[in-house]
Amino acid sequence: MDFKFDIIGEYLPLFLRGTLYTIGISITSIILGSILGLGIGFGRMLKSLLWRWPFDIYVNFFRGTPLYVQILIVHFGVVPVFYGSTNVLISGVVSLSLNSAAYAAEIFRAGIQSVDSGQREAALSLGMTRRQSMRFVVLPQAIKRMVPAFGNEFIVLVKDSSLLALIAVPEIMYWGNTMKGQYMRIWEPYLTAAVFYFILTYLLNKLLSYIERRM
């Protein structure tokens, strides 16, 4: 196999720039998705079916449809309605955030419900309000149990960000496709992109393992 390292060197600065885009978009999306997911998770725990069904529909829709399709709907349908025109970065962050929120909601719901209900009742018997018992008793324990699941979600989000090349977000995979289109080569662009994603996910795995041990 005639492997050309010179074209990798030519595109290396662009891959590094794409890595910064990948990291920035992924961090922004996981933060926004977690904030939205927390509210949806609480909505999923409402006793009233009437109030709960919109949150159920949201989670089932975003978990039951391909992210590929969601990106296209957000980019060509949703963003132009609110922004006036398409914007690849806004579309990328919004689509990943909305998708991540559905999974974050289930992580929050499962984590909160895993805490024994007797602890919540004990907090209430001590004079705490429901909000205080959730804030000071339930959530601190639940968050520790959520760390591995959120770590996996973040790693999946980093890899899923490669789909944003579809709408020309200049992340890692975008430059892989650009190199492939310019030189009509397969191994160099896609192996380079794979190495960058592997390094990111490997470092994330090590960081998450450290956080889990500390907690």
Q: What are the pLDDT digits (tens) for 126-180? A: 888 888 888 888 888 888 888 889 999 999 999 999 999 999 999 999 999 999 9
Kindly report the number of other CB atoms within 10 A of residue 21's CB atom: 19
- In words, the CATH class of domain 5-214 is mainly alpha
Please give the Cα distance from 136 to 214 (Å, whole number).
Answer: 20
Please give the Cα distance from 11 to 14 (Å, whole number).
Answer: 5
In the chain, domain spans: 5-214
| pLDDT at 119 (0 to 100) | 79
Torsion of CA 172, 173, 178, 183, to 10 degrees: 100
Q: How far is CA 136 from CA 56, 120, 142, 147, 190, in A?
A: 27, 10, 11, 18, 48
Nearest to 13 by CA among 170, 118, 148: 170
Please give the Cα distance from 128 to 130 (Å, whole number).
Answer: 7
Question: pTM (2 decimals)?
Answer: 0.90
Please give the Cα distance from 38 to 122 (Å, whole number).
Answer: 24
Burial class (CB in 10 A: 0-12, 13-18, 19+), 68: exposed
Q: What is the mean pLDDT of residues 192-211?
A: 94
Residue 1 pLDDT greater than 70, yes or no: no
